[in-house]
Chains A and B, each alone.
Chain A
Amino acid sequence: MAKPFLVTVAPHLHGGTSVKSVMWNVVVALIPALLAGVYFFGIEALILTCYGVMSAIMTEAIILAFRKKTITISDGSAVVTGLLVSFNVHTGVPWWIPVVGSAFAIAIGKHVFGGLGHNIVNPALLGRVFLVVSWPAIMTGNWQKTVMNSINGLSNQSLLDLPEQITGATPLAVLETLQDTVFIESLGENARVISESLYQEMISFPTLLNTFLGNIGGCIGEISAIALLLGGFYLLSKKIIEWRIPFFYLFTVAVLTYLLGGYDGFMSASYNLPLFHILSGGLLLGALFMATDPVTSPVSKKGRILFGIGCGLITVIIRLYGAYPEGVSFAILIMNLLVPLIDKFTYSRPFGKK
């Protein structure tokens, strides 16, 4: 008798998306941000990122071998984690920072919980937070100036047209300092009476255009809003991510900073505060690439809306009232933990059921 035919369960057609295609598409979407990082910070950014990615891949391979599982590094999920961890450090850190961060992300963030698909929180964010709380001085001090800043000085960014030396501090760090001062007045008239240090920081405050392009201080992958948006739209068009989480996340941040930031009238008037908040810091990176991580976000559409709003709320609270200038990582991590609860309350209703 002839060889029996292959028997598998229906359906016998498949749409073609695989874990591999999803992950490698995310890698492709992250490339513009990486290029922007390299453009603004120099080759160092690329080297640090390579360290992070290599570390993630190695850790994944070693742990999978240890767990006696098939080595699935080719599915690209470790590459994504490595990239995201490296995107969250600045170019002033030593080489072992992204290495340790990625290894921690893969080992503790992912494999302790059972590997791909089973982790509770976003591994890359866990890696970043681990780095920030373990080596706060390295992670938040010594912000590097962008190459562009050093070359152009302040010619295209100073509001006051005073070509002074700039600090490399991130816009959000500057904002935090500004918010802490009681002195809030119209800048132009009282420039003379502003204390010297504050004055320095104010003139280093970047324009929206530079924030948008990425010509600001910050981490490798988070500085260029336009590169991140490019990647985000690529993922949206490929239907890898869904618009609900990023949209409601950014929307909530915009609305809340508009309402709450109003008390600092000065900032919202001259710096277009909500837009500034959206474009700066890790918000776009977080909203487009981290909050949308399918494993750690709700599965239903309603749940995703709630998740996005929650992330936005916590981010704004931390940014405006917390001790840290940046709240994106904590916000997403906290919401990650709430996902099972959100899933439970957004159970879908079968078609035709009342």
Chain B
Amino acid sequence: MGHKTFPGGVHPLDFKYFSKDEIIERCPLPSRVILPLSQHIGKLPVPIVKVGEIVKTGQLIAQASDGISLNMHATISGKIKSIDTVSHPKWNFIQGIEIEGDGRDTWVELVDEEDFMQLSGEEMRNRIEEAGICGLGGAGFPSGIKLNPPSYNTIDTAIVSGVECEPYLTADCRLMMEKPEEIIWGLKIMMKILGAKNGIIGIESNKPKSIKTLKKLVKKEKNIRVVTLEFKYPQGGEKQLIYATTKRRVLSKSFPSSVGVIVNNVATVVSMYEAVRYKKPLVEKVITISGKIVKRPSNFMARIGTKMSDILAHCEGTTHPIIKAVIGGPMMGYAVNTLDVPLIKTVSGMILFGKSEIKTEEEKPCLRCGRCIDVCPNGLMPNFIASSVKYNDFVGAKKAGVVDCMQCGCCSYVCPAHIKFIQWIDIGKLKVM
């Protein structure tokens, strides 16, 4: 193909045709939002509101605690209904805040600083931290902390990931076509905060329109370039993206900052731009609802905390009964047993599967065919990890590289024995780490 890429990986069908031409629609205001305190990696924030209190959209309702943590804001205006256990797409139930909307959507005061690029890097970073932004691509690492790398690392390159290698998802693809300027501003903000000289926007070759749009815009920028990457999963993995665009290898157990790079997703940089320019907190994000059985697959700008079933209602439901609902992409997302879960910051899609698309296969004995090793983008030996964990040999699992696994699922994708690698690796990680 000639496009830049990384070793390993798989080529699943991308299924993006369902929703890639659908313009991002604004989801109507929900009457109620559920905001779990855990929407990111790190400690839970501390609620600073009381039940019955009236809040405005964008008002801080939970304050980040010390260390790695994240602010949380009200995403609609209304009354705090409860601070209790709420449903969470990944952890089932967790502490959270529920807001009963008043339907008026009264915002906190926003600003519009046209000369926002004159702000100091420190001030920009503070605003991003205040806005409660974390990595919106899936990992959910608080952005304020990411943009404050250890001082012994000089960052020379800021990368914006428009890869979106997960099949079905088109949220980032649409964002790049509809908000390209915001993305470039976001990248510039990132570069200013980090003092990075180079900016790179990496996009997979299956999004030609996005590439064209952004390439046109960066023509006049000296330090920013758009890199077309091969369509291959998991091209969007942080280490894989860094390798594909800069040929730098991030060592195991270390961060991208150790090779002078910081990566952020396009959705994250758009929020960063809005946080810096308008002081707008992170209250909404783009989500793709897709799948063969969805009547009207599309991309939506929805308030965080909106119930998935409410968002699905705007897709006019499904043609067949839902058998499996996956939050996130089909490769790394997690299946939920109900749509009664809220949209959280890290979720960028929901895929619904009907009966014809679901095949549950029993796990068979490993044939030692080595396909998992060939496709592992991290060069691990998934078969040895799985068998070690299965027989409680956690030393062996560690040796086979269980801690370096990013759980992209390529091994399971190609496994003829249908071994549930991710499950074994999850267990292994719990025992080893």
Q: Does residue B429 face the partner (Cβ distance < 8 Å to A)?
A: no
Q: Does residue B360 face the partner (Cβ distance < 8 Å to A)?
A: yes
Checking A5, A117, A297, A347 against B324 with a beta-carbon cut-off of 8 angstroms, the contacting residue is A5
| Chain A hits for B239, CB < 8 A | 351-352
Q: Report the stretch among A6-14, A97-105, A220-228 that lies at the interface.
A: A6-14
B355-367 to A contact mask, C-beta < 8 Å, 1/0: 0001111001111
| Chain A hits for B368, CB < 8 A | 117, 294-297, 299
B376-399 to A contact mask, C-beta < 8 Å, 1/0: 011111010000000000000001
Q: Does residue B407 face the partner (Cβ distance < 8 Å to A)?
A: yes
| Chain B hits for A349, CB < 8 A | 379
Q: Does residue A19 face the partner (Cβ distance < 8 Å to B)?
A: yes
Q: Does residue B313 face the partner (Cβ distance < 8 Å to A)?
A: no
Q: Tell me if A6 and B330 are in contact (CB < 8 A).
A: no
Q: Tell me if B335 and A18 are in contact (CB < 8 A).
A: no
A11 with B324, Cβ < 8 A, contacts A4-B338, A117-B368 known: no
Q: Tell me if B418 and A14 are in contact (CB < 8 A).
A: yes
The complex places the Cα of A352 from the Cα of B381 at a distance, in Å, of 15
Q: Does residue B292 face the partner (Cβ distance < 8 Å to A)?
A: no
Q: Tell me if A17 and B371 are in contact (CB < 8 A).
A: yes
> Which residue of chain B lies nearest to A241 when distances are taken between CB atoms in the complex?
B369
Checking B331, B338, B360, B409 against A5 with a beta-carbon cut-off of 8 angstroms, the contacting residue is B338
The complex places the Cα of A282 from the Cα of B187 at a distance, in Å, of 63
Q: Does residue B333 face the partner (Cβ distance < 8 Å to A)?
A: yes
| Chain A hits for B353, CB < 8 A | 12
B195-214 to A contact mask, C-beta < 8 Å, 1/0: 00000000000000000000
B309-343 to A contact mask, C-beta < 8 Å, 1/0: 00000000000001111100011111111100000
Q: Tell me if A300 and B418 are in contact (CB < 8 A).
A: no
Give the distance to chain A from B69, nearest Cβ to Cβ, in Å.
26
The complex places the Cα of A21 from the Cα of B364 at a distance, in Å, of 13
A19 with B323, Cβ < 8 A, contacts A6-B358, A348-B381 known: no
Counting residue pairs across A and B whose Cβ atoms lie within 8 Å, the total is 157
User: Taking chain A's interface residues, is the majority helix, strand, or loop, or is none over half, making it mixed?
Assistant: loop
B226-264 to A contact mask, C-beta < 8 Å, 1/0: 000000000000010001000001111000000000000
Checking B7, B330, B374, B404 against A13 with a beta-carbon cut-off of 8 angstroms, the contacting residue is B330
Q: Tell me if A19 and B381 are in contact (CB < 8 A).
A: no
Interface residues of A in 191-205 (CB under 8 A from B): none
| Chain B hits for A19, CB < 8 A | 364, 367, 416-417
Q: Tell me if A12 and B324 are in contact (CB < 8 A).
A: yes
Interface residues of A in 296-354 (CB under 8 A from B): 296-301, 304, 347-354
The complex places the Cα of A173 from the Cα of B132 at a distance, in Å, of 80
Q: Tell me if B331 and A300 are in contact (CB < 8 A).
A: no
Give the distance to chain B from A238, nearest Cβ to Cβ, in Å.
12
A350 with B380, Cβ < 8 A, contacts A6-B323, A18-B416, A115-B365 known: yes
B163-198 to A contact mask, C-beta < 8 Å, 1/0: 000010000000000000000000000000000000
The complex places the Cα of A5 from the Cα of B10 at a distance, in Å, of 27
| Chain B hits for A295, CB < 8 A | 367-368
Give the distance to chain B from A63, nearest Cβ to Cβ, in Å.
15
A348 with B373, Cβ < 8 A, contacts A9-B422, A12-B335, A299-B383 known: yes
Q: Tell me if A18 and B418 are in contact (CB < 8 A).
A: yes
The complex places the Cα of A8 from the Cα of B423 at a distance, in Å, of 10
Q: Tell me if A11 and B251 are in contact (CB < 8 A).
A: no
Q: Tell me if A350 and B252 are in contact (CB < 8 A).
A: yes
The complex places the Cα of A117 from the Cα of B12 at a distance, in Å, of 26
Number of interface residues of A (CB under 8 A): 43
Q: Tell me if A10 and B422 are in contact (CB < 8 A).
A: yes
Number of interface residues of B (CB under 8 A): 65
Specify which of A6, A296, A300, A304 lies most central, judged by the most chain B CB atoms within 10 Å of its CB. A6
> Which residue of chain B lies nearest to A21 when distances are taken between CB atoms in the complex?
B416
A15 with B10, Cβ < 8 A, contacts A299-B370, A350-B252, A352-B251 known: yes
Interface residues of A in 54-109 (CB under 8 A from B): 75
Interface residues of B in 109-141 (CB under 8 A from A): none
Specify which of A6, A116, A296, A352 lies most central, judged by the most chain B CB atoms within 10 Å of its CB. A352
Q: Does residue B278 face the partner (Cβ distance < 8 Å to A)?
A: no
| Chain A hits for B325, CB < 8 A | 5
| Chain B hits for A148, CB < 8 A | none
| Chain B hits for A300, CB < 8 A | 370, 373, 381
Checking A8, A22, A351 against B377 with a beta-carbon cut-off of 8 angstroms, the contacting residue is A351
B399-417 to A contact mask, C-beta < 8 Å, 1/0: 1110010010100111111
Interface of A toward B, CB cutoff 8 Å: 1-2, 4-15, 17-19, 21-22, 75, 114-118, 242, 294-301, 304, 347-354
